[in-house]
Structure 1
Amino acid sequence: MNAPVVVGVDGSSSSLDAVDLAAREAKVRGCGLTVVHALSWPKKHAPPGTSPLGQPEGGLRDMIGRMVAEAVERARSAEPEVQVTNAVVTGEPLTVLQGQSSKAALVVVGSRGLGGFAGLLLGSTAVHLAAHSHCPVLVVREQPRTARQILLGVDGSPVGDAAVEFAFAEAALRGSPLRALHAWTMWSASMPALQDDSMPYTNPAGELEDAEERLMAEALAGRSEKYPGVAVEHTVVRGGAREALIEASRDAGLLVVGARGRGGFAGLLLGSVSQALLQHAHCPVAVVRGSDAHR
């Protein structure tokens, strides 16, 4: 049986938007949807021996039950053919959803829930989950878009190959066109052997551009044969990756990026570009870690 799509809910409007998108993702994958709520009980405020759900009738139990039931009903209304189950799991949201991700095809969350601090554009759960999840994480940045195009950020790194595979597979499932975009600067260029590492501008005119075009071609190599039904447009631009991808996301229904690409510091699980896109993209963002390439 196919692994399910998991969606985290907390009663916020952002998490309900995530339910809508998660239901559609489950439909195109032909799998079930699991609605999960993480119950984090402040023990220091609980009387000794008190259940976090309160009395058998009423209290927190009823509130959580109504919240989860609303999310389940919303999912069933969005995609009646999808089998929807639910679970209330005791624990911190990040811990609970990370655990759920080990047996999921995809985890979907809203960009900011009820527990977010005022002024934050992105809840800490979404950021940390994108860095630690065992499967791809889809974060709903704004109201789900009707745009069909999938935007793929290509950096040419080995760990970024998982994001390329995910984007092509997603485009095939959705029947969507795919735009692969690679942005480079003089200091991030991928020349195999610069004349002078400290002075890349001394290379012949056009040589850096050609190298970046080759990097894009190598990153996408073999995917069109594997996914012949996916229409692909590829774009190589000179400029900052985060700025280029944020602007391009205005016309996309989904942006797919790797968790960390070229130039990242060893040990970091989520790169600065991925974090910026999670905070500022104009469409949902899927973050794919390198170890998830063949899930």
Structure 2
Amino acid sequence: MDRPVVAGVDGSPASLGAAEEAARAAVLRARPLHLVHGYLHPLGYGVPVNPYDLGVPAPTEAAQAMLERVAGDLAGRWPGLRVEVRQVPGGPGATLVEESSRAELVVVGSRGLGGFTGLLLGSVGTQVAAHARCPVLVVRPAGEPVRAEGPVLVGVDGSEPAELAVGYAADEAARRGAALVLVHVAPDEGTRTPDGDPDAVLATAIAAARGSHPGLTVTARTIRADSPARALVEASGDAALAVVGTRGRGGFTGMLLGSVSQALVQHARCPVLVAHPYGQAR
């Protein structure tokens, strides 16, 4: 199945930045790019004025022209890129979650100025990052050029989500021709993780990454810090991409992203890949 890379486009700067990175990802993966515009009913709720009128609102010419303009621009700058555009009658977040069931990757933009105040991703990006059925690339920080060079960073703690994230990070580093940096955050010297010594956790992750990609450059380090979230956000400043799992240790019951993953999705200083397994509804 030739799963596409999908980006939601509404004409905003954040969505145009997402479309650009989606084009880059599609070319790297030799996949088609699908640009999708999810639209609501003109009243904003997707509900007809007459409750007996169950017709679906029609796509607009303006939105179609916008999609085709973006597609033409991307195809002109990314040789070999195959682009399709489509309008879908639905909210943008729900539309992208639905599209994710058939996608290789979904790409969303972000907003905000950085720091640790407020939620910076926005409701659509937050919904997709938490509920998608394939990996999600969050393009952040908003309004800044995306660094093309640099390592792929992933935090490891011995959990199953972290193991999946390491696998995705190794794939992405190999695809980009970049180094992979594995980071374990420990609160202080001599503290053992729930799975044993930090060195053992890192050694297991190194073996897994090198086993799947023998030529990959892999480095590992332990950071001593009280806050894993802040430590990894700080470490992301030197990376071209950070990869996070969908649920880590210490998260609240019912949360779809662990607290550390949430912090990186909202505040990282580089794009973030959320390592959802394929085909699992959230």
Q: Does 1:285 align with 2:251?
A: no
Q: CA 1:147–1:188 in 2, change beyond 3 Å: closer, same or farther?
A: farther
1:29 alignment partner AA: R
Q: Does 1:22 align with 2:25?
A: no
* Distance in 1 between residues matched to 2:228 and 2:193, nearest whole Å: 14
Q: CA 1:120–1:220 in 2, change beyond 3 Å: closer, same or farther?
A: same
1:100 alignment partner AA: E
How much has 1:215 moved relative to structure 2?
A: 1.2
Higher RCO (C-alpha 8 Å, min separation 6): 1
Q: CA 1:190–1:35 in 2, change beyond 3 Å: closer, same or farther?
A: same
Q: CA 1:51–1:293 in 2, change beyond 3 Å: closer, same or farther?
A: closer
* Distance in 2 between residues matched to 1:221 and 1:266, nearest whole Å: 31
Q: Percent identity?
A: 43
How much has 1:35 moved relative to structure 2?
A: 0.5
How much has 1:125 moved relative to structure 2?
A: 1.3
Paired positions, count: 265
Whether contact under 8 Å (1:260, 1:270) holds in the other structure is yes
Deviates more, 1:26-35 or 1:262-271: 262-271
2:206 alignment partner AA: L
* Cα shift readout 1:77-120 (whole Å, capped 9, x = no counterpart): 3312111111111111121111110111110011149xxxxx75
Whether contact under 8 Å (1:26, 1:32) holds in the other structure is yes
* Distance in 2 between residues matched to 1:31 and 1:159, nearest whole Å: 26
Q: 1:149 maps to which residue?
A: 151
Whether contact under 8 Å (2:5, 2:26) holds in the other structure is yes
Q: CA 1:66–1:112 in 2, change beyond 3 Å: closer, same or farther?
A: farther
The partner residue of 2:216 within 223, 226, 230 is 230
Q: 1:166 maps to which residue?
A: 168
Q: 1:56 maps to which residue?
A: none
The partner residue of 1:214 within 187, 200, 213 is 200
Q: CA 1:46–1:243 in 2, change beyond 3 Å: closer, same or farther?
A: same
- Structure 1 stretches of 5 or more lacking a match? 54-59, 114-118, 193-207
Q: CA 1:121–1:185 in 2, change beyond 3 Å: closer, same or farther?
A: same
Whether contact under 8 Å (1:166, 1:293) holds in the other structure is no
Q: 1:11 maps to which residue?
A: 11
SS of aligned partner of 1:159? helix
CA RMSD of aligned residues (A): 2.5
How much has 1:288 moved relative to structure 2?
A: 1.0
* Distance in 1 between residues matched to 2:9 and 2:177, nearest whole Å: 28
2:208 alignment partner AA: G
* Cα shift readout 1:165-215 (whole Å, capped 9, x = no counterpart): 1000111111111111111225984155xxxxxxxxxxxxxxx8xx11111
Q: 2:115 maps to which residue?
A: none
Q: CA 1:190–1:73 in 2, change beyond 3 Å: closer, same or farther?
A: same
Q: Does 1:108 align with 2:107?
A: yes
SS of aligned partner of 2:72? helix
- Structure 2 stretches of 5 or more lacking a match? 113-117
2:215 alignment partner AA: G
* Distance in 1 between residues matched to 2:74 and 2:30, nearest whole Å: 15
How much has 1:43 moved relative to structure 2?
A: 4.9
2:170 alignment partner AA: F
Q: CA 1:128–1:45 in 2, change beyond 3 Å: closer, same or farther?
A: closer
The partner residue of 2:254 within 245, 267, 270 is 267
* Distance in 1 between residues matched to 2:102 and 2:49, nearest whole Å: 35
Q: CA 1:14–1:157 in 2, change beyond 3 Å: closer, same or farther?
A: same
